A and B are shown apart, each in its own frame.
Chain A
Amino acid sequence: MRKYLILLKAELRNLYFSPATYIAAFLFVILMGLLFQYAVNTFVQSTQEVPPWVLFFQASFWVPVCFMVPLLTMRSLAEEKKLGTLESILSTPVSPGQLVGAKFTAAYLFYILLWAFTLGFNALLYQMAPSENLWESGPIIGGILFTLFSGLFFVSLGVLTSALTRSQLVAGIFSFTFLFLIIFGTWFLARLPMTGVDLEGNLLTVIEYVNIFQHAEDFGQGVIDSRPLVLYASGALLFLSLSILAVESKFWRA
C-alpha cells in the first residue's frame, strides 16, 4: 500500500508539472464548453422537456471518453516499456499490481477532474439565469455517479491497451477503437431492427444491459440503477487484472 501511494504521488506530481496536462485540460474545457453552449442554444430555441445539463450530458458524454481517455492512458505503461524504465522499476521491490494501480488511479483522478470542470458550466448558467427549470439536482447526481463509475471502466480499458504494447500510438488507437466499439457498438446493436430474428431472450437482455448510451440517458435524467454500476466496477476490475497480468507476463515485455 505504501509503495502504491509513493508511485501514485509520483504520477500525480508528473501530471502536475507537465505542461501537457494543462493544455489537455484547457482544450477539453473549451470543447465541452462549446457543446454545453450548443445544448443551451437548443434549449432556448425550442421547448425541451429536460434542462440543458441533461441535453448536454446525454448527447456528449462520449466525447471525453473516446478522445480524452486514450490520450490520458496511452502513455502510462507503453512509455515505461519503450524507455525501458519498466525493467528498472520492476527490479525494485514494487509489484506489477502497485504499478498498474498507481498508473490507473492517476489517470482516473485526472479524468474525473476534467469532468469536474464541466460542473462549472452549470454554476455559470445558474448565475446568469437563476431559474429552477434549469437546475435539477437529480440529473446532476446521476451524471456524477455515471461519470465516476463509467470512468473506472473506460480508464481501466485504456490502461489495459497501454499494457499490451510498447507503442503509445498503438495503445491510443486500440483504446479509441475499443471505447468507440463499446459505446457505439452497443448503441447500434440496441437499435438494430430485430424483426424476423428471434432475440426474445437472453441476448436482448445482454444488449440492454451493456447499452452505455441507455445508461447515460437514464443517469442523466436522474434515474439511478445499480446494475450498470456493477457492470462498470466489475469490468474495471477485469481490465485492471488483465493489465497486471500483462505487465507480469514475460511475453509482453520482450
Chain B
Amino acid sequence: MISPTEPSDNTSEPVIEIRNLVKKYAGTTAVNEVSFAVNCGEIVGFLGPNGAGKSTTMRILTGFIPATSGTATVCGHSVSGEADKIRPKLGYMPENNPLPEDLRVGEYLRLRGKLKGLRGKNLRDQIDLVLEKCDLTRSRRRIIGTLSKGFRQRVGIAEAIIADPEIIIMDEPTIGLDPHQIAMIRDLITSLKRRMTILISSHILPEIEMTCDRVIIINAGRIVASDTPRNLRREFVPGARYEAEWSGDEDLLLGHLQNLDPEFKISRAEEELASEETDFRTIHLHSKEDKEFGEDLIQALTKEPSFRLRSLHRKDPTLEEVFMAATKRSWEVVMPEAPVTPETQNGD
C-alpha cells in the first residue's frame, strides 16, 4: 500500500550497490568500471549524454542483461544469480517506455498488478491509487495505442509504482511531458521520497535538481561526478556570479570591483535590453571566489554619481552548466586514451 509510513531504519546498508561494473558490446565498452551505491530512501539522478551508459547500467540492475565483469547487488541480492528475489521489490520503467498497444489503461495496470502478486481488493485499491497519482483516472478506459506520449509516459510510471516496490528504476520518465505533467511527476516522486529508493535517469536537468538528493554524472561509461547538486556546482563551476541591469562606465566599475577581488570580471550579456530609451544594459560579474558579494556589489555599482543600478541578482550555475563542465572535463581525461585503437593494441 502506498501510505505514509516511517522510513525503514536500515539506512546504513546500501540498497543498490555496484562495484567495478563493466559491460562490453562487441568491441565497444558501454560501461567502464562504474561503482556507486544508493542508500535506502534516497533519490538519485543519473545523468549523462546519449550513449553514456545510463540505460545499460539500469538494465544490468534489473537483471535484463548481464555485466561483462564486476558485481551489482540490489537489497543484498546479486542481480545475476538471484534476480528472482530482486524482481518482486523492483519497479522498472524501461527506456522508451514500451507498452502493449491494444490494452486499455486499466486492463494493463490490472494485468501488471496481478503479475506482481496483487490480488482482490488490494489490487483494485492499488490501481485506483496509481491512476489517481498519475492523473489517469479519467483515461482508465482508453486504449494505450491511442494515447499521446505524455499519457503513455504516465501509464509507464503508474505501472512501475503499482505494487509499491522498494526500489524504483526509471529510465527517462519525464521525456515528452509538458510542464504541467513534469510538475506532476515531480510531486509524485517527491511523495515517494524516503519510502522508496529511486534511481532515475533524465535529460531534464532542473527536474533532477528539484527531486534528487544526489546526482551521478556518467560520461563515456565512466562516472565523472557524484554528489549533491550543490556540491557539484561548487566543484565544477566555482566562484560567484551576479547579473545586474546597470548603466555607467564599465572601466570605472572594474576598478571598484577589483578592490573587492582582484580577479573580478565584467562581461556583457548577449541579449541587449529591449528598452532603447535608456542606456541600461545587462552585465555579468564574475568572481573566482565563492562568497557572498551582494552587499559590496550594490555599493560598488552605485558608488559614482553617474552609475545607475536597476537590478542585481546572484546567478547560480544551472545544472546544465555543471553537466557541461563535468562531461567536458571527463572528455579531456578520456581523450588521451582514445588513440589506443585495437590496431595499435594488436601492434604490440
Contact between chains at B84 and A95 (CB < 8 Å)? yes
Give the residue name and chain of the A residue nearest to B117 (CB).
A93
Chain A residue at minimal CB-CB distance from B99: A85
Most central of B92, B96, B115 by chain A CB within 10 Å:
B115
B81 cross-chain contacts in A, Cβ below 8 A: none
What are the interface flags for B80-100 relative to A under an 8 Å C-beta threshold, 1 for contact and 0 otherwise?
A: 000010011010111110111
Contact of B159 with A by CB under 8 A: yes
Instruction: Kindly identify which residue among B64, B87, B93, B98 contacts A253, using a CB–CB cutoff of 8 Å.
Output: B64
Checking B90, B101, B102 against A91 with a beta-carbon cut-off of 8 angstroms, the contacting residue is: B90
Q: Is the CB of B64 within 8 A of A87?
A: yes
Q: Is A88 an interface residue (CB 8 A)?
A: yes
Tell me which residues from 56 to 92 in chain A have a Cβ below 8 Å from any Cβ of chain B: 83-85, 87-92
Of A7, A10, A18, the most chain B CB neighbours within 10 A belong to A10
Q: Mask for A240-254, Cβ within 8 A of B = 1, else 0?
A: 000000000010011
Q: Contacts of A6 on B, CB cut-off 8 Å?
A: 111, 114-115
Q: Is B66 an interface residue (CB 8 A)?
A: yes
Query: DSSP class of B's interface residues: helix, strand, loop or mixed?
Result: loop
A14 adjacent to chain B (CB < 8 Å): yes
Q: Give every chain A residue within 8 A of B66 (Cβ-Cβ).
A: 250
CA distance A94 to B163 in the complex (A): 14
Given known contacts A87-B64, A254-B65, is B84 in contact with A14 (CB within 8 Å)?
no
- In the complex, what distance in Å separates the CA atom of A6 from the CA atom of B100? 16
Quick check: is B116 within 8 A (CB to CB) of the other chain? yes
Docked-complex contact B100 and A85, CB < 8 angstroms: yes
Instruction: Kindly provide the distance from the CB of B152 to the nearest chain A CB, expressed in whole angstroms.
Output: 12
**Interface size on B (CB < 8 Å)?**
29
For the complex, is B308 an interface residue (Cβ under 8 Å from A)?
Answer: no
In contact, B94 and A88 (Cβ under 8 angstroms): yes
* Residue B140 lies at the interface, judged by CB distance under 8 Å to chain A: no
* CB nearest to A5 among chain B residues: B114
Q: Does B133 contact A (CB under 8 A)?
A: no
Q: Are B99 and A93 in contact (CB under 8 A)?
A: no
Given A18-B102, A253-B64, A91–B114 Cβ distance below 8 Å? no
> Assuming A18-B102, A250-B66, A254-B65, is B112 touching A92 (CB within 8 A)?
yes
Establish whether residues B98 and A91, one from each chain, have CB atoms under 8 Å apart when the complex forms.
Answer: no
B159 touches A88 (CB 8 A): yes
User: Is B197 in contact with chain A by the CB < 8 A criterion?
Assistant: no
B115:A94 contact, CB within 8 angstroms: yes
> Can you list 28 A-B contacts with CB-CB less than 8 angstroms, sorted by A residue number?
A6-B111, A14-B103, A18-B102, A83-B100, A83-B101, A84-B94, A84-B95, A84-B96, A84-B98, A85-B98, A85-B100, A87-B59, A87-B94, A88-B93, A89-B115, A91-B62, A91-B64, A91-B94, A92-B87, A93-B84, A93-B88, A93-B116, A93-B117, A95-B84, A250-B65, A253-B64, A254-B25, A254-B65
The 7 closest A-B pairs by CB, nearest first: A84-B98, A91-B92, A93-B87, A85-B98, A92-B115, A91-B62, A87-B94
Residue positions of B touching A, CB distance < 8 A: 25, 59, 62-66, 84, 87-88, 90, 92-96, 98-103, 111-112, 114-117, 159
